[in-house]
Structure 1
């Protein structure tokens, strides 16, 4: 029995193949005892699919339950734990919920996401809410207004290991595109190609890959924001770029831009500066067909310096982006995509900036510019930005 049991968190949308993967893990355990924790009652029938004895499966609905289960498996000489939450659970939330509940008996070791290669495009470009998708599967849906792409991106970008399952259902070119997309979305993750959920136990159990800081920073967009490149796949036109500027957007022109289709853009994220809301940070996020803009608080230049964070790293970060005229106000957006026209996209964003004449009106006049964008307190979804790679080869607050 290990002193502290390694825990694998197994995520993936319904139908990705998590149950099949679990079956193979147990069949090839080579004497290892693998405990299974589920967090929804209807998953208990997993033991019929895997052949697990009843004491191999426990249901945990709270951090307290998790701690009790970890203690049980540790004392019963188990070698590893696998936690399988519901298909629409987000790893970030699961880690936050259960990390304290693991207690002294276990530790998060590996965050694994299982993806369905055949249906990945459908899910990535879906506008479905979780409630709508659950209803289509015949599952009580409730009123979960998260979108499928929200969940999928969390599962992909916050993973230590990504298993691309059902690779037998796509051809070599399609598989190459998917792998290129995933490397760009999460450069840190180990990518494993699988058919029928067959993976080596050592690739998903006891890997030691989970690190709270490194895993949280593994998303490709975050690396780009930090100035680090992400892997590109020139053969399929998968690449990334950053766009920056030191003057604000005209609200009318920016509003028009976000309703246009950005050909080839799979993921975009960052901060923007809107002339009509001069003191507020705008946050932009887009994945697939869904995009959002919201307030990110106030720019530091509108905050008294004694209220700034005093930790040296934070101060250095603020000052590294400081401009003598505009402080930290800026445009800083990153893009990941396939077949993007970087020059055309940058030109469109440049056209949304205030002209020299408009800059000359002064900041007080900017507040009177016509602003059709929703109020900051609203989470506003837009559509039509990401471009399905069907145009290229591919399967159906500071």
Structure 2
């Protein structure tokens, strides 16, 4: 990639959206480590108050995106905190002596991208930045398994029993809103799909998105950055082509979802912990578990990523001098799950 930004040009920004665990952070990490000299910055948003994704990105250690160019906005959703959090973060990056040539924005997995795209029309930043493109990352395996679709037979039975029933599926709405804003769809985790699965997921994407949008299949978020950056979409000027379930609402909330943190002491058997996490996720229909563990006898901390009952783990970076050898796990689920029962299941 070569730099094309001049002193008077708008700085291009790429919004990376997608549901919890789709692979957004993996995608960004690959972009950062393959920047080819372009100065990048990242704004990463977490639904909860613990910044796991920002920690992962800061661990890249690449000159193109130093740690002070990675801004973490936790405990909220960018689509709801534009004035308080997003605009100041963007202005801070643009004010640097060497401002970024391209800014990557990772939304939380529960964020609606359209309000964020709209924010680029705010007078404070409208002349300085543009949305180069909205990249929607789709978890192919979760979509193929019907994670975001209704059980139509069960819904029909409920409506037959109660004709006045007002039904909405918060997972499906978020998933569809993220697709409806897309300029490019990344169908991730393709290694977990059969040919028939991939065909069904592609058909579902095509059915949801009302315009022609290219779908790129990948695994572990590995995509040539030139495919992602430089789309020139100017999405903030193309809002009508990006319908949303919430267009008629003045504002929205995330009351359908809840999150909390489990503190966990150093563990002697990492596999036993992973087994407990899988069991807890299945028993309580947890959407996402992510965080770090300390394993006895291991100098590196263990990064744990769970989507539903599917888990991956890898040793990441060494514990820093003075850093407590303990673990923190962020748990995200639909409102109403039993925090005490989930915590007890994880801690064993």
**TM-score scaled to structure 1, two decimals?**
0.46
What is the DSSP-based 3-state SS (H/G/I as helix, E as strand, rest coil) of the residue aligned with 1:119?
Answer: helix
Match of 2:174 among 115, 127, 151: 151
Contact 1:71/1:105 (8 A) holds in 2: no
Mark the CA change 1:63 to 1:50 in structure 2 (over 3 Å): closer, same or farther.
farther
Correspondence 1:209 to 2:215: no
Deviation at 1:162, TM superposition (A): 0.7
Query: How far apart, CA to CA, are the structure 2 residues paired with 1:99 and 1:46?
Result: 31
- Inter-CA distance 216–112: structure 2 relative to 1 (3 Å threshold): farther
Distance change in 2, residues 1:162/1:104 (3 Å): same
Deviation at 1:182, TM superposition (A): 1.4
- Look up the match of 1:108: 131
Bigger proportion of residues as helix: 1
1:265-316 C-alpha deviation (Å, 9 max, x unpaired): xxxx9xxxxxxxxxxxxxxxxxxxxxxxxxxxxxxxxxxxxxxxxxxxxxxx
Residue from 108, 117, 131 that aligns with 1:86: 108
Alignment coverage as a number of residue pairs: 204
The structure 2 residue matched to 1:33, chosen from 25, 39, 42, is: 39
How far the C-alpha of 1:178 sits from its partner, in A, is 1.5
Q: How far apart are 1:54 and its partner, in Å?
A: 1.9
Report if the CA contact (8 A) 2:130-2:234 is conserved: no
Residue number in structure 2 paired with 1:47: 57
1:322-337 matches, cutoff 5 A: none
**Kept in 1: contact 2:114–2:242 (CA 8 A):** no
Flag structure 1 segments of 5+ consecutive residues without an equivalent: 128-144, 223-268, 270-398
Instruction: Provide closer, same or farther for how the CA distance between residues 152 and 114 of structure 1 changes in structure 2, counting only shifts above 3 A.
Output: same
SS of 1:50's partner is: coil
Deviation at 1:174, TM superposition (A): 1.6
Tell me the C-alpha RMSD between the 2 structures: 2.7
Q: Which residue of 2 aligns with 1:59?
A: 72
Larger radius of gyration: 1
CA distance in 2, matches of 1:126, 1:42: 31
Residue aligning to 2:10: 4
Structure 2 distance, partners of 1:146, 1:170, is 24
**CA separation of 1:215 and 1:178: change in aligned 2, threshold 3 A:** farther
Closer, same or farther: CA 67–104 of 1 in aligned 2, 3 Å: farther
Residue equivalent to 1:191: 215
User: 1:166 and 2:186 equivalent?
Assistant: no
